Amino acid sequence: MEHFEPDEVPEKVKSKKSKDDRSENHINKSVFKDKKLNKLWEKAEKSGFDQKELKLLQQEFQHHQDKIDEYYAVLEKVDGGDRTSNFE
């Protein structure tokens, strides 16, 4: 970094640095355990849905999260807790 002028910093370094520099004011607004569901939820909140639509969507997402949790619980029972055994 010391070899670049401030306006010459490569984009990859800028984006990595901005991801690593989290402010103390950052609040984890994760609603779901699944990262993809959380990303979709954030997009839905920003897209302009009204509160009734958001509530219905949240119920659908929660139903999907429950199914994901159920899948992993069954997978653990079948594999005896070792999920990598099928991939070797």
**Cα–Cα distance measured from residue 62 to residue 31, given in angstroms and rounded to the nearest whole number:** 9
Report pLDDT for 80.
Answer: 77
Confidence (pTM): 0.55
Residue labelled with tokens 């994901």: 68
Report pLDDT for 79.
Answer: 83
Rounded average pLDDT over 43-71: 94
pLDDT band per the 50, 70, 90 thresholds, residue 26 = very low
Checking if the pLDDT of 71 tops 90, the result is yes
- The distance of Cα 35 from the centroid of its chain, to the nearest Å, equals 2
More confident residue, 45 or 5: 45
**Cα–Cα distance measured from residue 63 to residue 60, given in angstroms and rounded to the nearest whole number:** 5
Nearest in space to 32 (alpha carbons), one of 24, 45, 41? 41
CA atoms within 13 A on the CB side of 74: 6
